[in-house]
Amino acid sequence: MDNYDGADWTDWMLLKELDRASIPDQPGVYMIAAHRRIHRAHGADKQGILDIGESDNLKKRIAAFRACSLGACRT
């Protein structure tokens, strides 16, 4: 990502290749981005950020996001 230090974050990983066992089942902060530029109402987001958030259980949150990306969202 441009202009972002990210020293305390893990390296970027593709959601479809993410090893679920490596994600802690405890509170955490996450950032999910497309692998491309996204056009927004006020210009282009060259980092393609889709979601930044926090969760009480990072493993469950990332698993839910991955399921939705594959078309298996729970409503």
The CB density around residue 61, as the number of other CB atoms within 10 Å, is 19
Report pLDDT digits (tens) over 12-54. Answer: 788 878 888 988 899 988 888 888 898 988 888 888 888 889 9
Q: Which of 29, 68, 34 shows the shortest CA–CA distance to 50?
A: 34
- pTM of the full predicted structure? 0.69
Residue recorded with tokens 């109402």: 41
Run of H or E including 31: strand 28-33
CA angle 52, 58, 59 (to 5 degrees): 130
